[in-house]
Amino acid sequence: MADVNRGNRPLSPHLSIYRWQMTSASSIFTRITGNGLLVGALLIVWWLTALAAGPQAFARADAVITSWFGNLVMVLSLLALWYHTLAGVRHLIWDAGHMLDVGQSEKAAYVIIAGSVVLTLLTVVLV
């Protein structure tokens, strides 16, 4: 029978035994940023809804989003957005069959981190 010794067999080692690496860290951050962007996206939906609803609703939403805390959330969302966008480009390159070895992936990870910081600063300055 196939179920003999089920639940009592050695399992392959998981995340906890590995040291931090650029490849895994940059991948984990892609997931965190992508899902975390929900917060910024919902704030934008709220802002647009308030804009459609009228001046009073707009004043309320706009005050929250342009407060220091709102600004902090929006700038962090911007950083997450650029990071996730650049990491998405790396995924598209991988899907096309390029840059699949560790060295190139690590180099791309540094480009993604530096690029997202630069793009965030550029956006903050230009907008």
Partner 1 sequence: MAYLTDRKRAVGMGSAKTGTDHHWHMIISSVALLGLIPCFVFTFGHALGMEYSDALAYYHRPFPAILAVLTLMVGFLHFRNGVQTLIEDYMQGMARKVALIAMICLSYSAAAVGVFALIRIAL
Q: Please return the burial class of 11, using the count of CB atoms within 10 Å of its CB with bins 0-12, 13-18 and 19+.
A: exposed
Shortest Å distance, C-beta 85 to partner 1: 6
Contact by Cβ (8 Å): 33, 19? no
Nearer to partner 1, 90 or 105 (CB): 90
CA–CA separation, 16 and 20 (whole Å): 10
| Interface with partner 1 (CB under 8 A) | 1-3, 31, 34-35, 37-38, 41-42, 44-45, 47-49, 51-53, 55, 58-59, 62, 65-66, 74, 78, 81, 85, 88-89, 91-92, 95, 123, 126-127
Shortest Å distance, C-beta 100 to partner 1: 16
